[in-house]
Amino acid sequence: METVVFPAPNALTEAQIDPKIDLWAEIKRLKHEKNAIILAHYYQDPELQDIADYVGDSLDLSRAAAATDADMIVFCGVRFMAEVAKILSPDKTVVIPDADAGCSLEDSCPPKEFSEFRAKHPDHISLTYINCSAAVKAHSDIIVTSSNAKYIIDQIPADQPILFAPDRHLGGWLARETGRQMVLWDGVCIVHDQFSERELIKLKGHHPGTPVAAHPECHDGILQHADHVGSTRSILDYVTTSSESEFIIATEMHIIHQMQKQAPGKTFIPAPGNDGSCNCANCPFMALNSLEKLYLSMVNEAPGIYISDELRLQALKPLQKMLEMSPPPAKKPVTQAAE
Ligand code: 13P
Ligand code: SF4
């Protein structure tokens, strides 16, 4: 019942790309030729964000994938995001530049162990973070993202016990914010788990009064110092609309590219990791995608995501529940890159 990612037989390889071609122009040409849409997460390399039709957080991108009338969805993000696109838009060809782009949260939560966890708590409703495999989604009641989780929990009767997987930091933050008792799966995002509270306090000392914006995948030692906690999209909205001109950013560092584009006069300082440097807030899974691999995925129409009907329909139910229970989309559309 697993998702299958197919490489194409006789596929063009990176070594075979003609060095004389203008990759940017070729990708644009293929986009029109194949009626494709390119979706990119804020954690992608700046050139992938800049060539995408839409750049967004997990919820924005799920909505864009569900709504598109393109024939092909090219997902510059990680595998679980491309799987969601395929589950919501089964008739489209869905490709991802690098099929090895996984996620530490997904890895922490194998489907078999997850169904045993569920079986131990038969009275609990299972809210599952979208950062998980299609098979784990299939065993869940409602999928959430960091931008809609609080809103969805508030619609669940107060006496209903909740299981939350796989991110224990996001789950812990949600439990504190909503006052709900929640049984948490013990997974973490390796990027948000590595920020250092001690180094953050030192950095704040050098920048007195500078607000800290943090993603709820960060551990509590970071969240306690945050002036704003929210999804990537909400952090972006916070820094662009705030009257402050300098911010410390505790999330994957490539979102700073989008902040600089949307608020060019402001300063964004990456939160430090354990060694005091800021270089470790770089997701190694997101980093697997590149402009070359994006081009190849469009030429080869591979690696493509394929999901059996049985698994797709099971995973679709909790995703549809998420879309039904989410707040209405923000008035302004997700970022649309210029042609
Ligand atoms: P959001 O963009 O939904 O905040 O998710 C962050 C993330 O870690 C995606 O992998
Ligand atoms: Fe997974 Fe963390 Fe990378 Fe997001 S940033 S894809 S949660 S490892």
Ligand nearest to the Cα of 252, by number: 2
Q: Among residues 85, 70, 64, which one has the least CA distance to residue 315?
A: 85
Output the CA 21–ligand 2 centroid distance in Å.
32
| Residue 275 pLDDT level (bands cut at 50, 70, 90) | confident
Domain 4-102+286-312+327-335, CATH:
3.40.50.10800
Q: What is the mean pLDDT of residues 24-38?
A: 98
Q: Which residues of 160-194 are buried (b: 16+ CB within 10 A; e: fewer)?
A: eebbbbbbbbbbbbbbeebebebbbbebbbbbbbb
φ, ψ for residue 248, nearest 5 deg = -100, 130
Residue 41, CA distances (Å) to 154, 181, 233 in order: 27, 31, 10
Output the CA 105–ligand 2 centroid distance in Å.
7
**CB of 124 closer than 8 Å to CB of 163:** yes
Q: What is the pLDDT of residue 251?
A: 98
Q: What is the mean pLDDT of residues 94-102?
A: 96
Do 105-184 and 192-281 show the same overall fold?
Answer: yes
Domain boundaries along the sequence of the chain: 4-102+286-312+327-335, 105-184, 192-281
Ligand 2, atom 2, lies closest to the CA of 189
Q: What tokens appear for 322 in the block?
A: 């998420």
Please state, rounded to an integer, the average pLDDT across all residues of the chain: 95
Residue 217 alpha carbon, nearest atom of ligand 1: 8
Cα 182 to the center of its chain, rounded Å? 23
Q: What is the pLDDT of residue 9?
A: 78
Ligand nearest to the Cα of 234, by number: 1
Lowest mean per-residue pLDDT among 95-99, 180-184, 270-274, 323-327: 270-274
Domain 105-184, CATH:
3.40.50.10800
| Residue 1 pLDDT level (bands cut at 50, 70, 90) | very low
Q: What is the pLDDT of residue 332?
A: 59
Q: Which CATH class is domain 192-281?
A: alpha beta
- Tens of pLDDT along 200-237? 999 999 999 999 999 999 999 999 999 999 999 999 99
Q: Is the CB of 217 under 6 A from ligand 1?
A: yes
